[in-house]
Amino acid sequence: MRVLRITALIAIAGMLAGAGVALARDDKPVADWNQERVTSYGQELTTACDELKAAVSNTPASLDPVNQKAFYRAKDDVRLLASAARGLAKALGDGEGKAETQPRFKRIELLRNDAAENGRRALIADDVLAKVTPVGVALIKLAPYYREAPADGAE
C-alpha cells in the first residue's frame, strides 16, 4: 500500500479551510447568523471529522520510531478535532449562538493547525486522503458565520 505523509492530508484540509477563512475575512461580508444553517454545517463538520478519525484510526503506524511518534501525535490531534467538532455541533443544536460557540470554532481552527504541524513526519495510507476534503469544505462553510465584523471606520 502506497503511503502519504499526513501533512498532505492535513495540508489539503488546511488549505481549503484557510482559503475559506481568507475569503471570509477579506472578500465577503459577515454572514448573517442563521442558526438552522450553521447547525447543519456543524453536523456536516462532525460527520467529516468522525470519518477522518475512523480512517486514521484504522491506519497502521509506521515501523520507523520517528514516524511512529509523529503518527500517534497526529492521530491524537485528529481525535481531539473530532471531539471538538462534536461539541460545536451539540452546542449549535442546543440553540447556542455565535457568541457562545465562537470559542469552540476557534479551538477547531487551532486543532487543525496542530494536526498539520504534528503530522509533518507521520506516514498514513492513501485512502485517508479522501476523508480530509469534507473537513475542509465544512470549515469553509462555517467560516463566514464566525468572521468578526470590522470596527466602525475600519476598512
The yes-or-no verdict on residue 111 having pLDDT over 80 is: yes
151 part of a folded domain: no
SS (H, E, C) the chain: CCEEEHHHHHHHHHHHHHHHHHHHHHCCCCCCCCHHHHHHHHHHHHHHHHHHHHHHHCCCCCCCHHHHHHHHHHHHHHHHHHHHHHHHHHHHHCCCCHHHHHHHHHHHHHHHHHHHHHCCCCEEEHHHHHHCHHHHHHHHHHHHHHCCCCCCCCC
Q: What is the pLDDT of residue 48?
A: 95
Percent of the chain with pLDDT over 70: 72
Q: Looking at 2-16, 59-73, 100-114, which range is the least confident one?
A: 2-16
* Total number of domains in the chain: 1
Most confidently modeled range among 23-32, 33-42, 64-73: 33-42
- pLDDT, one tens digit per residue, over 56-105 is 888 887 777 877 888 888 889 999 999 999 999 999 999 999 999 999 99
Tens digit of each residue's pLDDT (9 = 90 or more) over 125-144: 667 767 888 998 999 999 99
**Is residue 133 domain-resident?**
yes
Is there a domain that residue 100 lies in?
Answer: yes
pLDDT of residue 120: 64
Domain assignment of residue 137, given as a range: 3-146
What CATH number did the domain enclosing 20 receive?
Answer: 1.20.140
Q: Is residue 155 part of a domain?
A: no
Task: Answer yes or no: is 87 within a domain.
Answer: yes
User: Would 47 be classed as within a structural domain?
Assistant: yes
8 in a structural domain: yes
At residue 152, the pLDDT reads 60
62 inside domain: yes
State residue 62's pLDDT score.
75
> If you average pLDDT over every residue of the chain, what do you get?
81
Q: What percent of the chain has pLDDT over 90?
A: 46
